[in-house]
Amino acid sequence: MAIHKPVLLKEVIELLEPKSGENFIDCNYGQGGHSKAILEKIKPGGGLLGIDADLDIKNIKDIKDIILIKDNFVNLKAIYEHNFPYPISGILFDLGFSSDQLENSGRGFSFLTDEPLDMRYNPEGQRLTAKEILNKYGEKSLVRIFREFGEIGEKLARKMARATVVRRGRRLFEMTSDLLEVIGAKAVRHKKRIHPATQFFQALRIEVNKELDNLRQTLPQALEILKPGGRLAVISFHSLEDRIVKNYFRGWAREGRVELLTKKPLTTGEEELKSNPRARSAKLRAIKKIDSKECVKNF
């Protein structure tokens, strides 16, 4: 199993400024790298709520002083109110997923191993799978998913959608190798560092887990439950996520509701990339919630 390295850990701690006695929420607990570092800063007297739709008890059995909830962060406000109703000084979203999810889930997140086309973060709580999308979605819907969520050109998206429909007419999609067979026939390797299958797998994963819709729904909840002066940090891993975060943060700043702590996103340095090359696309943005009384005074 690959050792999980929390991305941009130093920068996250500097931006969130956790202090003794404060309460924090980690909305993507994963293997707990960020949470453990925050917990060290908020002791004694502080508390931490960890949320993850794909919570694995094997990774957390030795962790104390953290309340853990297996759920999707789209339900953030309800999770907070029912499990952790304290003043919140900081909230973190790490929108990536761990190497363990990629390589050992058995759910088809990676094209490097032949696995069932599932891609659900929480199989117990979700119904839609990547296999269903490929076998049942109409051609126009497939074009939209490949184009919008995979950031694939219109021409290639149409080719892939057509090839998908033709292929399932002969034999239904079941395994990642089935999808790779179609991608290999239609996708052209461009002069990029990423494998051509990466964007198609990304598109299906986003559709299965409603990642962008969930992000749009949860960011306002996060701002609402933060106490005045509280901080919100988000690590995104592709331009679709980063654009949503940027637009929300800048919009709130124009309204005088937050202070931008990062005018431009922070990215990983050379040293971190040497030990964690998967972090190359990470972007970190952060804001500080402004006291409503201060807003009125400034106005």
Claim to verify: residue 44 and residue 127 sit in the same structural domain:
no
Q: Which of 178, 209, 240 is where one domain is finished?
A: 209
Q: Is 97 annotated as a binding residue?
A: no
pTM attached to this predicted model: 0.89
Claim to verify: residue 168 and residue 218 sit in the same structural domain:
no
Claim to verify: residue 56 and residue 44 sit in the same structural domain:
yes
Q: Which amino acid is at 158?
A: R
Q: Is 21 annotated as a binding residue?
A: no
Q: Does 177 fall in a domain?
A: yes
pLDDT tens for the chain, 299 residues long, are 344 679 999 999 999 999 999 999 999 998 889 999 999 999 999 999 999 988 765 555 556 779 999 999 999 999 999 999 999 999 999 998 766 666 677 899 988 889 999 999 888 889 999 999 999 999 999 999 999 999 999 999 999 999 999 999 999 999 999 999 999 855 544 445 567 799 999 999 999 999 999 999 999 999 999 999 999 999 999 999 999 999 999 999 999 999 999 999 999 887 777 777 677 789 999 999 998 665 544 43
Q: Does 261 fall in a domain?
A: yes
Q: Is 82 annotated as a binding residue?
A: no
Q: Is 34 annotated as a binding residue?
A: yes
Q: Which residue segment(s) compose the domain that 196 sits in?
A: 110-209
Claim to verify: residue 34 and residue 181 sit in the same structural domain:
no
Phi, psi (rounded to 5 degrees) for 254: -65, -35
Claim to verify: residue 133 and residue 205 sit in the same structural domain:
yes
Q: Domains in the chain: how many in total?
A: 2
Q: Does 277 fall in a domain?
A: yes
Q: Is 32 annotated as a binding residue?
A: yes
In SS3 terms, the chain reads as CCCCCCCCHHHHHHHHCCCCCCEEEECCCCCCHHHHHHHHHHCCCCEEEEEECCCCHHHCCCCCCEEEEECCHHHHHHHHHHHCCCCEEEEEEECCCCHHHHHHCCCCCCCCCCCECCCCCCCCCCCCCHHHHHHHCCHHHHHHHHHHHCCCCHHHHHHHHHHHHHHHHHCCCCEHHHHHHHHHHHCCCCCCCCCCHHHHHHHHHHHHHCHHHHHHHHHHHHHHHEEEEEEEEEEECCHHHHHHHHHHHHHHHHCCCEEECCCCCEECCHHHHHHCHHHHHCEEEEEEECCHHHHHHHC
